[in-house]
Structures are given as structure tokens and as C-alpha cells.
């Protein structure tokens, strides 16, 4: 009898807990059906590439948030309605995220393998920029494991002026948007929840299934944003941050690579008074060719000519040449007009190389006098841990209300001399990135991402043109450009293209490189055409 009574009490407790969780949950609205725009991408091996059908979803922060029992805004402009949202839990119970009208409201369109993001879109209200994630299905983000792999995409930044950032990157979000770990999150990945990055952003409206109302302070400069008490932290691999003037790629490790919540200034990063007070590396180890002294490599009419589209290839090299190894190097190359373009070499005294390695990062931090938060949070090993867990692909377009994007394309900090190593990052004027100016002057700016591919090293591109597969062409002539010299290679009719894997323990593919490249041993597990 006692046991039966105890069991009944246990069941009642479970039922009450389930009811309580549901009644306090972050809700989903029904005013607008959520239909994700389709986007194809490819998985590649040395044998070729296969097309995968996917889709994209816009982040929850861009969505209409209204009451569950009607259409009253819970959030208007950059302020919460505190009569509806007096605290985080109540707000999550009373407010819902609704579906999105991607093209008309947010300026987001897809066609085949191409995603276009418009900067300013005016419908019933003005929308600025967007942030989207690649989906595996309607309720799950696509997860990428990039160790010993390369990631490739085509991009058109010709319409991105100073002050804008067309960013393509990876973050360690939960595949389901956090709905399994936080059952109060009923919206999940389908509605773009669960964002995190290495800045531990505090401008998110919902974190871990609850609202971010408590302590919310509307922004003085951004009519759509503010910050709350909570932030959302995780590792971040910036494959591409760029406009038509400057570009950078940057790993940002965290002490815990997966998503965690932080509190107030203990979050660190952009949104807190103590930038280095959190568990993530807000600065990263960046490779910006202009900042590294090569001012003629990237931009309109330069070696990588941003007047036209091009292909971006990023390779994640491990110490064992396998996906179970530890990240030791991140390499970058480009393909434009049928030419493979090696990343420019650093021209900064005391910092050598054209890829991100532990030695490069340590030397750069020392010479530039930057705080070495990269090493403090694990460096490449920390980034490796996040890549091993799997990361979500983010594609965005944004302007910068904190630093006017000067850290990407101008002199930063602005009080330092441009002749000081590390200060000059591009040719933009220090007044060019003010968001009010950018939004009013360049509302028609846009970025296009297309032809996304992931696969084994050397499998996602060749030198016969932008976005081709890794197999060599019998009619291709390979040309490798740098900013100071242009060398025609006169490729042979057969052989692997430059940077392809050509050997190593367990390698069963070709070991012959196209002329003038030779198969060069990197370690026992990996050889590459160089």
C-alpha cells in the first residue's frame, strides 16, 4: 500500500513537472507558417561530389515575438513590454516566436545552391541584415565535422562597401537548437533558436528556453537591439568575414566548446565591460592579408579581385592527417577565373607564414602587442575540440554598432598610428562604418553565397574555374598568383591539382601531382601537392 501510494505521488509529481515546464515554455506562434527556403550543397571525395538537399532558417532574434493568446507585441523596437514580460520565465510562457516571410520581410532569397542576403529590406517595417543557419531537416541544423577536411564556397562581395560584413562561419550550437537540453524551448532549430558565439552575445531575446528580459537595457544606437543579463557562449570558427575591401578568417576557442550560458559582465566579449572576463576568446587569431602587410592582395582590381565572384577554400590540417587528429594548421586559398591563388604571405617583420598555426598566432600576438586570449582559451587545440564535436554553419550580413567594422577594414584602434604593426586592416576611412550612414547610403547592398562544398582535402575545387569538383581537367592550365608575382605553371594533362592530398598512411588515391607540383610529405599520415 505504501509503495503504491509512493508511486502514485511520484507519477503526480512527474505530471505536475511536465505541466509546469509546458506552461513556462518558450512558445511557437501560428500566425505565419514557417517554410524554410531550400538550398543545395555538396559532399565531396576524391571520386567527385554529390548534391545534398538542404534549407536555411533565419535566427530567432529577427522574428516577430507576440503574445500566445493574441497578436500583441512582446517586444517592440528594442524594448520588452514589461506588463507581459516582467521576468524571464513568465515572458517565455506568454510569448511566442512566429514564422518568417523570408523574401518580403528579410530580403532573403535562394536559388538552387545560391543564397542572397539583402542589407536593408522595407516592408511593414525596416529590416537590417540577417543571420541564417543551414538545416539538415525541418527540426535539425546540419552539423559539420571539419577536421582533416576542407570547406569551400563561392562568394560575391562586389556590392559590400566599407562598414558591412558578409560573414560565413561555424559555431557550436546544439543541433536541435537546444530543445533537448532545455525542454522549455518549444521552438527549437525550426525557428532558429540556440545561437551562441565567442562574444557570448547578450543581445539575444531568448536563451536556453527562457527570455532574456531581466536587466535588459535598450541600445542607445541600435533601434532594434539591447542587452540582457544573460549571454550565450560557444566556440566560433570564422571562415569568412569580409566586404569588398578587406577579409579575415579567425578561430575563436572557448574553455567549453559547446553552448553555455553566462551572466552579465562575466560573459566577456563585445557586450561586456570586461572584454576578457569570460570563458571564450573574443579576439581569436586572425589572418587579414592587409593587416599582415600585403596591401595589394585583396580588393577591387587586386590579386583576389572583389569586383567578381571567386571561390574560397579553407583546409583544416591535423597532426595525424586523419579526422581523429588534433588541428595544427588552417590553410586558405582562392580560385578565380580558373586560377588557384595562394594566400598571401605575411610581410610583417617577426611574423612569417600564410596560414594559421600555433607559431603564427604566438608571433602575431607578440609583434602586434595584442592580448593573447587565443592561447589562454586553448588555441588551436581548443578550436580542434569544437570542430570534433560538430558545428553549425552560419551565413549572415550585418553592420556594427559597437566598432563600426573598423576592426575589419580600417585603422583600429583609431587612436593608434596606421604605421604601427597590426593597426591598419584596410583602406576604409575611420568614419566610414557608422551604421546610420551605411544603412542610409547603401540600403541596396547584398552578398551572395553559393556552391557550398565540404570534403576530403583537395576534393572540392580544381583550377579549371570557380567551384568545380576536385578532379583534374584534361584542358586545364593551372596558374598560381600572389600579389607580387604571377607564375604560370603549365599543368600536365594528368595529376592532382595543387593542395590536393597525394599520400600518407591509409591513402588509396593518386600519388601523382599536376606539373609543376610535387607530392610533399607533411607527416606520416598526410602528403600534399605543393
Active site residues: 236, 241
Element (H, E) at 438: helix 435-441
Chain length of the chain: 530
CA 171/CA 259 separation, integer angstroms: 9
CA 50/CA 84 separation, integer angstroms: 49
The pairing of strands 310-318 and 327-336 is: antiparallel
CA 185/CA 110 separation, integer angstroms: 28
The 3-state secondary structure of 318-372, one letter per residue: ECCCCCCCCEEEEEEEEEECCEEEECCCCCCCCCCCCCECHHHHHHHHHHHCCCC
CA 327/CA 270 separation, integer angstroms: 27
CA nearest neighbour of 346 among 409, 418, 421, 429:
421
CA 178/CA 191 separation, integer angstroms: 11
CA nearest neighbour of 515 among 468, 480, 485, 486:
480
Query: CA–CA distance from 105 to each of 129, 130, 141, 340 (Å)?
Result: 11, 10, 22, 38
CA 356/CA 322 separation, integer angstroms: 18
Instruction: Give the single-character DSSP code of 13.
Output: H
CA 419/CA 177 separation, integer angstroms: 45
What are the cell numbers at 307? 569586383
What are the cell numbers at 455? 570534403
Contacts for 403 with CB less than 8 Å, ≥ 6 apart: 412, 433
CA nearest neighbour of 332 among 321, 342, 322:
342
DSSP string over 161-229? -TTEEEEEEEE---TTTTTTT-TTB-STGGGT----BTT--S--SEETTEE--TT-EE-SS-TT-EE-S
Amino acid at each position: 500500500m505504501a509503495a503504491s501510494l509512493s508511486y502514485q505521488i511520484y507519477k503526480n509529481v512527474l505530471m505536475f513537472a511536465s505541466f509546469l515546464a509546458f506552461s513556462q515554455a518558450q512558445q511557437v506562434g501560428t500566425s505565419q507558417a514557417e517554410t524554410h527556403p531550400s538550398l543545395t550543397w555538396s559532399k565531396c571525395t576524391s571520386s567527385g561530389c554529390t548534391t545534398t538537399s538542404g534549407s536555411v532558417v533565419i535566427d530567432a532574434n529577427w522574428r516577430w515575438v507576440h503574445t500566445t493568446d493574441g497578436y500583441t507585441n512582446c517586444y517592440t523596437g528594442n524594448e520588452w513590454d514589461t506588463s507581459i514580460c516582467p521576468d524571464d520565465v513568465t515572458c517565455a510562457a506568454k510569448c511566442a516566436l512566429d514564422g518568417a516571410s523570408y523574401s518580403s520581410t528579410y530580403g532573403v532569397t535562394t536559388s538552387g545552391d545560391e543564397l542572397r542576403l539583402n542589407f536593408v529590406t522595407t516592408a511593414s517595417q525596416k529590416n537590417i541584415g540577417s543571420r541564417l543557419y543551414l538545416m539538415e531537416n525541418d527540426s535539425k541544423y546540419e552539423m559539420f565535422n571539419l577536421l582533416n577536411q576542407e570547406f569551400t564556397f563561392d562568394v560575391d562581395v562586389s556590392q559590400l562597401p566599407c562598414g558591412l560584413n558578409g560573414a560565413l562561419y561555424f559555431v557550436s550550437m546544439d543541433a536541435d537548437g537546444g530543445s533537448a537540453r532545455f525542454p522549455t524551448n518549444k521552438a527549437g532549430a525550426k525557428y532558429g533558436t540556440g545561437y551562441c558565439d565567442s562574444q557570448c552575445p547578450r543581445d539575444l531575446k531568448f536563451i536556453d528556453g527562457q527570455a532574456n528580459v531581466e536587466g535588459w537595457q535598450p541600445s542607445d544606437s541600435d533601434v532594434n537591439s539591447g542587452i540582457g543579463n544573460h549571454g550565450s557562449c560557444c566556440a566560433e570558427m570564422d571562415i569568412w568575414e569580409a566586404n569588398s575591401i578587406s577579409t579575415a578568417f579567425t578561430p575563436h576557442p572557448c574553455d567549453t566548446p559547446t553552448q553555455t550560458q553566462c551572466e552579465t559582465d562575466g560573459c566577456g566579449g563585445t557586450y561586456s565591460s570586461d572584454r576578457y572576463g569570460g570563458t571564450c576568446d573574443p579576439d581569436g587569431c586572425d589572418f587579414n592579408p592587409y593587416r599582415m602587410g600585403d596591401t595589394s592582395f585583396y580588393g577591387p582590381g587586386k590579386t583576389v579581385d572583389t569586383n567578381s565572384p571567386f571561390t574560397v577554400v579553407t583546409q583544416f590540417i591535423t597532426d595525424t592527417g586523419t579526422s581523429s587528429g588534433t588541428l595544427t594548421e588552417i590553410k586558405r586559398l582562392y580560385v578565380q577565373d580558373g586560377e588557384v591563388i595562394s594566400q598571401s604571405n605575411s610581410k610583417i617583420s617577426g611574423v612569417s607564414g600564410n596560414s594559421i598555426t600555433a607559431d603564427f598566432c604566438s608571433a602575431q600576438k607578440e609583434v602586434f602587442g595584442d592580448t593573447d586570449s587565443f592561447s589562454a582559451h586553448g588555441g588551436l587545440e581548443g578550436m580542434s575540440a569544437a570542430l570534433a564535436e560538430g558545428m553549425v554553419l552560419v551565413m549572415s550580413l550585418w553592420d556594427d554598432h559597437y566598432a563600426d567594422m573598423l576592426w575589419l577594414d580600417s585603422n583600429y584602434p583609431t587612436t593608434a598610428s596606421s604605421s604601427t604593426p597590426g593597426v591598419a586592416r584596410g583602406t576604409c576611412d575611420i568614419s566610414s562604418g557608422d551604421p546610420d550612414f551605411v544603412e542610409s547610403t547603401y540600403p541596396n547592398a547584398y552578398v551572395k553565397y553559393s556552391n557550398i562544398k565540404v570534403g576530403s582535402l583537395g576534393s572540392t575545387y580544381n583550377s579549371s574555374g570557380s567551384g568545380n569538383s576536385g578532379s583534374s581537367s584534361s584542358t586545364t592550365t593551372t596558374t598560381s598568383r600572389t600579389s607580387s608575382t604571377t607564375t604560370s605553371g603549365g599543368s600536365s594533362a594528368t595529376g592532382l591539382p595543387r593542395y590536393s592530398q597525394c599520400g600518407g598512411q591509409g591513402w588509396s588515391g593518386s600519388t601523382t601531382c599536376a606539373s609543376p607540383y610535387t607530392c610533399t610529405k607533411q607527416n606520416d599520415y598526410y602528403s600534399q601537392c605543393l
